[in-house]
Homo-oligomer: A and B are copies of this chain.
């Protein structure tokens, strides 16, 4: 496995792969790998001849009061894990290289960020779209894989790729969970033992949603209220949002009929966690 810290370095490597007629898959990450990241790398290996993993804690997608400085980093461990997954190259650029002081160009979507996490994290998705556009231009992959835990991000990247005519296929990979159901996240590392127990409320509320929808519940408001009640029964939880919505537009639905996204964000102490699930209820 090769490791590059410069844009010109990874570019040259990708170009020689391309000259050998190999396809290239990009897995953009912020590092501190867990099973979720590794599953994206495995997916990448299935889809293309070569897998490039970028590791960059992107300052542009963190708000002023968010956890940029606290975000966990362990580059050596990340490299070992990537190597073990058969990743061909890791790209770890510096902030100065990605955002030189003259930098002033941003990619922004007008509708998708007006929902869910976009409401509590203003500017977040602008930062995401911008850095992903940059990584797409640097690596010029044939495909790129994103996890479904960040469902809104996946939707946003797909929309951006379509709107700006990126010639790149965007693949989504399923959420990977701990045995007890907690969705894997680098931020789980912030949790105390007590908080870790309360964090289960997210996946459990989605299980409850599944049961309710199975039993024929058609009222999205009732679904959300029952989920909220379950979450708040766990100590130290504060709900950011619990939203049953349209999986394509993220807009509110009046009744549970077609495909439904249920997405939620909950603060456990100082840690903000997200989770989601898509349902296909019988009509």
- Report which A residues bind B (CB closer than 8 A): 7, 11, 102-112, 129-130, 133-134, 137-138, 140, 159-160, 162-167
| A106 and B162 alpha carbons, distance in the complex (Å) | 12
Q: Which residues of B contact A111 (CB under 8 A)?
A: 104
In the complex, what's the smallest C-beta–C-beta distance from A88 to chain B, in angstroms? 20
Please give, as numbers and ranges, the residues of chain B lying within 8 Å of A164 by CB-CB distance.
Answer: 105, 107, 130, 133-134, 137
Q: A107 near B104 (CB under 8 angstroms)?
A: no
B159 lies within 8 A of A137 (CB) = no
Q: State the oligomeric state as a number of copies.
A: 2
* CB–CB A104/B163 < 8 A: yes
6 CB contacts below 8 A, A to B, read A7-B165, A103-B163, A104-B111, A106-B107, A107-B108, A140-B167
Q: Are A160 and B108 in contact (CB under 8 A)?
A: no
Residues of B within 8 A of A160 (CB): 105
Partner of A104, one of B109, B138, B165, B167: B109
Tell me whether A108 and B106 are in contact (CB under 8 A): yes
Leading 8 A-B pairs by shortest Cβ distance: A105-B163, A137-B165, A104-B110, A104-B111, A105-B160, A138-B165, A104-B109, A134-B165
**In the complex, what distance in Å separates the CA atom of A112 from the CA atom of B137?**
22
Rounded to whole angstroms, the CA-CA distance of A198 and B104 in the bound complex is: 37
| Chain B residues whose C-beta falls within 8 Å of the C-beta of A7 in the assembled complex | 165
Cα A137 to Cα B137 with chains together (Å): 10
Residues of B within 8 A of A102 (CB): 159, 162-163
Give the residues in chain B near A166, CB-CB below 8 Å.
137
